[in-house]
Amino acid sequence: KKIISVVGARPNFMKVAPLFRAFQQYRDIQHLICHTGQHYDDRMSRIFFEELELPRPDFYLGVGSGTHAEQLAGIMLGFEKILQSERPDLVIVVGDVNSTVACSLIASRFLIPIAHVEAGLRSFDRTMPEEINRLLTDALADYLFVSEPSGIRNLQKEGIPQEKIFFVGNVMIDSLLYYLPKIAQSEILQTLHCQPGEYILVTLHRPSNVDHREELKELIGLLREIASLKKIIFPVHPRTRNKIHEFSLEDMLPANVIITEPLGYLDFMQLVQHAALVITDSGGIQEETTFLQIPCITVRNNTERPVTVEIGTNRLAGTDPAQIKQMVFETLSNLSAGRQEGQPIRQESVKTPGSKDSRIPELWDGHA
Ligand code: UD1
């Protein structure tokens, strides 16, 4: 049997790595990787292949950036050619990026079965491109692999037949557990002259937060205020970097905000693991902080990953700077009351994932 797994953007790579390893154990399965090239910078792509020990992709579409239409159309044109010549038995797509939906659409035209890993997540916010990508991909998929209970409920409500839905856990957590020993060897803390627990880690890249000058200016103003209390490390996504430059906001960032390029997986996860607090608008980081039991404040009005709020460490702050600020101050004062800096509360309170008193979601056990 021949299977093609699709990756396109940064959050896809750590989801396909455990699949790649698993398929290597089956000699009768030919598992090929197609990289659309949605993300193409070395720091958004190549470093992940190296660190996650992924092979060179079997197919590279080199699509790059553009408008949604350009990106989607480019991926579809490229993937169509591959499906025409390869005729795989299954296409696997992961997550919710443009590459996920574009390749699903083409596979469906060729009547090739589609497996969607990380199916069923819903923010119910159709202004997010990812929500549209999730809805369409799940409508097309034949096998829907779900990472948290809300996903099962959402798919059932949308009328997806039960026999297509598989609650398997979270491949991103499989990666996190697998690479923990390598994450421990990262030297990023020394490089940035930071101690465990003494900094807040920030990531921002959602178009709704960074694409408009006023919103971005307010968020950077907020970082200035927070940085007067605690050191901030801010690895900047290319979209955000471009917008900061376009809106001439560089000078607003104070010296005690440590700005870095986008980081590789191992360095970034070490920073998450030792942060006092993470402030983010990412999807996956809400899950990684929940698993590592690091407090997370999400700068969004909604989340497609409600389990991270219900039993995890995630809090939704919305996008109003005053509200975010209040939540940050609250979290920091709880932390200093509750534990010593440099002593992250991690695995000690973790029971079997999903058990009554565990704060780790069900099946997030490294074996999705
Ligand atoms: C994409 C995903 C988003 C995911 C994010 C993680 C979609 C709709 N969005 O958003 O869900 O959370 O990836 O990073 O698929 N750029 C570079 N170098 C790169 C890639 C991008 O400079 O290697 C710049 C370009 O200016 C580009 C911009 O970043 O226009 C945005 O890239 P794009 O792929 O459109 O979306 P992301 O914002 O990265």
Lowest-confidence segment of 115-119, 128-132, 262-266, 333-337 by average pLDDT: 333-337
Nearest atom, ligand 1, residue 205 CA: 38
CA 94 to ligand 1 centroid distance, Å: 16
Write out pLDDT tens, residues 237-246.
Answer: 999 999 999 9
pLDDT mean over 85-113 = 98
Catalytic residues: 205
Ligand 1 pocket member 231 (CB < 6 A): no
Residue whose Cα lies nearest atom 39 of ligand 1: it is 239
Provide the pLDDT confidence category of residue 33 given band limits of 50, 70 and 90: very high
Provide the pLDDT confidence category of residue 341 given band limits of 50, 70 and 90: very low
CA 303 to ligand 1 centroid distance, Å: 19
pLDDT mean over 141-158 = 98
- In percent, the amount of the chain with pLDDT more than 90 equals 92
Instruction: List the strands of the sheet with 30-35, edge to edge.
Output: 59-60, 30-35, 2-7, 90-94, 114-119, 143-146, 165-167
Ligand 1 pocket member 11 (CB < 6 A): yes
Write out pLDDT tens, residues 196-219.
Answer: 999 999 999 999 999 999 999 999
Given this model, what pLDDT does residue 356 score? 78
Nearest atom, ligand 1, residue 44 CA: 23
CA 67 to ligand 1 centroid distance, Å: 11
Provide the pLDDT confidence category of residue 339 given band limits of 50, 70 and 90: low
Residue whose Cα lies nearest atom 3 of ligand 1: it is 97
Mean pLDDT (the chain, rounded): 95
Prediction pTM value: 0.96
Ligand 1 pocket member 205 (CB < 6 A): yes
Given this model, what pLDDT does residue 352 score? 80
Given this model, what pLDDT does residue 79 score? 98
Which one is predicted more confidently, 355 or 271?
271
